[in-house]
Structure 1
Amino acid sequence: MARILIVEDEPDVMLLLENRVRGAGHDVISATDGEAGLELALAEKPDLIVLDWMMPKLDGIRVCELVRHADPDRDIKVLMLTARSQQKDVDRAYAAGADEYIVKPFSSRELITRIGALLDGGAAEAHPV
């Protein structure tokens, strides 16, 4: 069982994510803004972070950069889950240190598949969502 941090500011999306990730057998911690997400990421050291881009207080890109900078030797996987779908956004997320990128709206099955692939040691094969 992996420990997964979900950082998402939309309550309905957060509930869906928590239910699906717990249903896949993982331990879930969550935050509803970027600052709280960063604090939990540094204190709790999750195995994987599901991270929204557009959030209050601190955006997901900055959270990703700060997590990577704070502990560069720790292999925390980061999956960006965002409505931003342009290629320049995808490129920016990977440059910030994201391991995977999923565009909203998303398939719950695809999300769990990609989380599993990341936890097993790599990025999942990209599929349209």
Structure 2
Amino acid sequence: MASRGVYFWKEAIHDEIDSIMHDNTWVLADLPPGCKALGCKWILKRKMKVDGTIDKYKARLVIQGFRQKEGIDFFDTYAPVARISTIRLLLALAAIQNLVIHQMDVKTAFLNGDLDEEIYMKQPEGFVMPGNEHKVSS
């Protein structure tokens, strides 16, 4: 946050937090006995235009899942994304059927995945809810 673009980074972080809160991604809860809360960190990235200029500043809040143990804290690892072969098949079918294709980007699509496990995360630094400092995100 010491860079010249600090205003843009803060705006990107606030946009991400607003999106998380708007989508009710987590609820604040007391940490159950025997459970541990994982930390989180911000991933900051500049999205560039084709000409090399900055298009936008993007912030993503990620949980520090590397602290989990496979078989204890989680059992499966996967990303709910389409395979390239599936996309090619759909494009081919659209071309054969002379269909119109539209593309869209879902800003927080990764937040729509369902988890079978309960995950507890510490509240992000700078965004701890007043009066709920001891609670974790669930």
In proportion to residue count, which structure has more helix? Answer: 1
Bigger Rg, which one: 2
The structure with higher relative contact order (CA 8 Å, sep 6+) is: 2
Using structure 2 for the length normalisation, give the TM-score: 0.28
